Amino acid sequence: MQETTIDYALRATWQSVARMYNEEAKKFGSTMAVGFALLSIDPKKGTPSTSLGPKMGMEATSLSRILKSMEEKGLIERRPNPDDGRGVLIYLTPFGLEKRKDSKDVVLRFNEVVREQLSADQLIAFFEVMETINQVVSEKKIFKNESTTN
């Protein structure tokens, strides 16, 4: 039997989670990406549009389409950034705040169900593994031959 690679396990798991979130979002007439954007926007102070892309791990063009769709649906509004005349802050509308709560409830429920299936030690190990993977990726260790031992 062939061993599963780490990247395959991550990708397959994320795709499964994304599919679940999209199916749930569909019940609300939305998508996972919109739900994620709702959760990434500060509900009180708004969020600069330029910081949303990196926060969500999204390219500017994809984010721009999502924000346009959200604005058309009345979930967000754009206002000039008082601290930066060229910048724009994204604010949730009352409807956006309501949908943000729906998104947050789904995420919290998913976390609750998964946590019920795992021991405290398993959760600690999971987050340690995720942290290590993020470090390897951010430090680009695979390209520096630092991941091999002599």
pTM of the model: 0.81
Domain assignment of residue 42, yes or no: yes
| CA separation, residue 12 to residues 15, 56, 123 (Å) | 5, 19, 19
Q: What is the pLDDT of residues 47-75, one digit of tens each?
A: 998 889 888 888 888 899 999 999 999 99
- DSSP string of 107-118, one letter each residue: HHHHHHHHHHHS
19 in a domain, yes or no? yes
Q: How far apart are CA 96 and CA 38, in angstroms?
A: 7
CATH of the domain at 37: 1.10.10.10
Determine the structural domain holding residue 22 and report its residue range.
Answer: 6-100
Tens digit of each residue's pLDDT (9 = 90 or more) over 92-122: 999 999 999 999 999 999 999 999 999 999 9
Interatomic CA distance for residues 78 and 60, integer angstroms: 16
Residue 31 within a domain:
yes
The answer to whether position 54 is within a domain reads: yes
Domain count within the chain: 1
